[in-house]
Amino acid sequence: MGRFFFNKQLNVNNAIEVNLNIEKLKELEIIKKSYIWGTNKDIFQSDKFSSIKPNWGGDMEWISSNNMNTYNMFLKGFESLGLDKLLKDIIECENQLRLYAGFFLKRSSSKKNFHVDWNGRLKNNAFTLLTPLYQEEDALHLLFKDIAGEECKYKYEIGKGILFGSDFSHSTESGKSSSSSILLCFQFGTDLPTYNRGIQDAMGTQTPFMILPDGRSIAHKGMIQDGMTYSVPLGINDLKF
The site for Fe ion (CB under 5 A) is made up of 117, 240-241
Whichever of 28 and 203 has its CB closer to Fe ion, that residue is: 203
Whichever of 107 and 240 has its CB closer to Fe ion, that residue is: 240
In whole angstroms, what is the distance from residue 88 CA to residue 106 CA? Answer: 30
Whichever of 175 and 204 has its CB closer to Fe ion, that residue is: 204
Terminal CA-CA length for the chain: 25
Torsion 78-104-42-222 (CA) sign: positive
How near is the Cβ of 106 to Fe ion at its closest, in Å?
15
Q: Which of 162, 134, 230 is nearest to 12 (CA)?
A: 162
Whichever of 1 and 236 has its CB closer to Fe ion, that residue is: 236
How near is the Cβ of 133 to Fe ion at its closest, in Å?
17
Q: Which of 208, 115, 217, 105 is nearest to 167 (CA)?
A: 115
How near is the Cβ of 142 to Fe ion at its closest, in Å?
9
Pairing assessment for the beta strands 229-232 and 49-54 based on DSSP bridges? parallel
How near is the Cβ of 170 to Fe ion at its closest, in Å?
6
How near is the Cβ of 56 to Fe ion at its closest, in Å?
12
DSSP code at position 166 = B
Whichever of 18 and 47 has its CB closer to Fe ion, that residue is: 18
In whole angstroms, what is the distance from residue 107 CA to residue 79 CA? Answer: 26
